[in-house]
Structure 1
């Protein structure tokens, strides 16, 4: 599975940019988003303030929630 962080301008339905964060691993991402062990990470998860610190540390990405909306999306590899 490939995991991407997608960035959208607030109020837009189109991605502004995407970053592959698959190197972080499904288990670490599941922990950040509170997905229980054994559950599929195939959904889309909105990045919210409680996720930011962990995602900054794991991915090196910085998030501007005042300007953009971010989502963790998955794709089959």
Structure 2
């Protein structure tokens, strides 16, 4: 799965979203617009061919694959 990633910065951005618990908090921390941050995470999911995050208008949670991938990002 990790062999396919072409932009390592996207791993850092994904990890920040997970650690902050939301796109809004992560974007604020990184000094980015929320929409721009989201535009980095969605292609990462597409590139990996898996959903990493479950998104609703009020909630953000990791999928099981997302949890495992987050551990790889931290390593």
TM-score normalised by structure 1 residue count: 0.34
TM-score normalised by structure 2 residue count: 0.34
Structure with greater proportional helix content? 2
Structure with greater proportional strand content? 1
